[in-house]
Amino acid sequence: MSIMYSDCLSDLLCEEDSGGILSGDPPSPDSSSDLESPAFVEESIAELIEDEKDFVPGFDYLARFRSQLLDASAREESVAWILKVHAYYGFQPLTAYLAVNYLDRFLYSRSLPQTDGWPMQLLSVACLSLAAKMEEPLVPSLLDLQVEGAKFVFEPRTIRRMELLVLTVLNWRLRSVTPFSFIGFFACKIDPLGSCVGYLISRSTDIILSDIQEASFLEYRPSCTAAAAVLCAASEIPSLMSLVNPEHAESWCDGLIKVSQS
């Protein structure tokens, strides 16, 4: 039987502070041709690579799992549940990725009362709810979101409180830089004629989602993850196999080589 949790969150609640709401609105270009120029695209990708460090957990986050300061199995279970609900509702790939990104950034900055059980489940529900609200045109109710083997069922007001805590810990920065920010650009780099770009993007997306459950995924920045996924997808296409070379990928844009070595 599912358990209802409502007022057992004294260690998890936060003050409702709406300061620091989303910043960094995209600039208004003088003309659409500026946006389409190769120089503008290259510069935009380089800026994303420079900014991506601000949307990932700190460099020692993976080390905490390896030293068992954080429970890798609890994270794996939570991500597996997020992916199941993502598939159940047919959410966009970015929704699942953002939910996991929020969860990891939260765990890096804030401790839970316990590393598994209902606090981790509540965090997972809140992160998925926030990601769905960011990306999906239709979002299930908070009760309907708790499907696919959720061990605990929380009241909507409890989830909303947890959402506020997540927002506060993340400084209301939900527009993350993700591998999906790069895969289209990298796909065009490895296939400039565009004959296989659609497949490369689709297959790279599947590869990324299949890997985010493992804590080792956190060792790499989003741009490097995207490059690796595109290279892996390209290795399945005979006409592109000769181009599957990490050193070749480092020439795709400024900054990628620096990130890959950091």
Q: What is the pLDDT at residue 256? A: 65
Q: What is the pLDDT at residue 160? A: 96
Domain 55-175 class, CATH top level: mainly alpha
Q: Chain-centre distance of CA 225, in angstroms? A: 11
Q: What is the pLDDT at residue 30? A: 53
State in Å, rounded, how far the first CA of the chain is from the last one: 48
Q: What is the pLDDT at residue 116? A: 66
Report the DSSP beta bridge partners of residue 4.
153
Rounded to two decimals, what is the model's pTM?
0.81
Q: For the chain, which residues make up each domain, given as ranges?
A: 55-175, 179-261
Q: Provide, for the chain, the percentages of residues in helix, strand and coil under a 3-state DSSP scheme, each rounded to the nearest 5.
A: 60, 0, 40
Q: What is the DSSP string of 100-131?
A: HHHHHHHHHH---SSSSSHHHHHHHHHHHHHH
- Name the residue among 40, 23, 22 with its Cα closest to residue 31: 40
Q: What is the pLDDT at residue 58? A: 85
Block mean pLDDT (10 aa), the chain, length 262: 40 39 45 62 84 87 86 92 96 96 94 80 96 95 90 93 96 92 90 89 94 86 90 87 70 61 46
Q: What is the pLDDT at residue 20? A: 37
- To 5 degrees, how large is the angle CA 157–CA 159–CA 160? 65
